[in-house]
Structure 1
Amino acid sequence: MIRVLLADDEAMIRAGVRAILSADPEIEVVAEAADGGAAIELVRAHRPDVALLDIRMPRLDGLAAAAEIRLTVPETAVIMLTTFGEDDYIARALGDGASGFLLKAGDPRELIAGVRAVAGGAAYLSPQVAQRVITELAGGRLGRGVAARTRADVLTEREREVLALLGAGLSNAEIASRLYLVEGTVKSHVSAILNRLRVKNRVQAAIIAYEAGLVADVTAG
């Protein structure tokens, strides 16, 4: 069972999201909050697998709540849910350690897919957000590619293999299957990769993998 905390200051939005998630028998909403501060307290109390946070909330917004949750309860993955698709919101959310970013105007199926993905250790961006990120990366790919390859050079060969598959969107279980490893070993490799690359989460590591050309090598193979 995937345990989810839902935080949004609008009761109707919470009801709608809860209804969508309830369509999946393997997802359970264990707590709800109307502001970021309450969301942090409930995450600490319930330790959900996923915290689904609206960006704009009173008392403490979702971005600040995401940063605090990732710092104090790192085992809880964070997905940002918002009506806004501006690049600064995307950049801040991913920089604060969010594993996913979904737009409220998106397909309801994206919500379930996103929760399942981050609960499984992967990252998830709605198609609109993914396109923005890819476009931004493409704008300065050459210079960043050199920097990314330099950063990836500190990794062992096995860690580079794991990073490439992580960048391709595979979960820990899928990486383990592909490389004939146990999932616990993959988790250890991912932790080492994040530390060596000095990044906060899988999304940031995936961007480095993309910029370094590791993802292209995997997909081509």
Structure 2
Amino acid sequence: MGSLAASGGYWISANADQIWAAPTTITGSIGVFGLIPTFEKTLASLGIHNDGVGTSPLADIYRLDRPMSEQAKRIIQLNVENIYQQFLDLVASGRDISATQVHSIAQGRVWTGAQAKELGLVDELGSLKDALDAAASLAGLEHYDTRPIERQLNFQEHLFKQLTQRAEQLQLRLNIGRHHQVTLESAVKQQLGMIAQKIGLLSTANDQAGVYLECLECRLF
């Protein structure tokens, strides 16, 4: 687990041969809730009302412009409880404890990695390298390499990443500038110029195939 592996993150971790977490990992959150808002009072305040005919009492169960019937509420509640029970059973099977024991530490509560280990939700505390070493040991591997797999960014995402990095550099320069008399105005102007340049590039990115080539030497696009 990284810094966060709660709720769905723990769902996919529960059946692992070993679960590793950092002491500060946020995990747990074994729970389910459902929420369906309705806006009949808001609409009524605007003078909007409605009526209709359905083929069954549940035909309008998900209508947002009228109040939900008690029968519909009960059906949705049963569905939430059913998914919660599935979650409990999944964790109970993965951690080799009873669903009742899981329920006692579940109910949507969040734990740190250190607390989760004490509660039996995590096997070991350590770093990513520790987890990789443990996985290699379980697989019987003495020599292995790791390679991060990341989704390739599209042009807009890559541009946003660059702008974020520029902002971080600006913050660093301002911190250093307190000792070297770098003014806020000059630093901001420089960064705004770079941002304007990137936005200018984005405005020309209108190729229907989404294929572009940027020359890093001549700065042509």
Which structure would you say has the larger Rg? 2
Identify, as 1 or 2, the structure richer in helix.
1
Which structure has more RCO (C-alpha within 8 Å, separation ≥ 6)?
A: 2
Identify, as 1 or 2, the structure richer in strand.
1
TM-score, with length taken from structure 1: 0.20
TM-score, with length taken from structure 2: 0.20
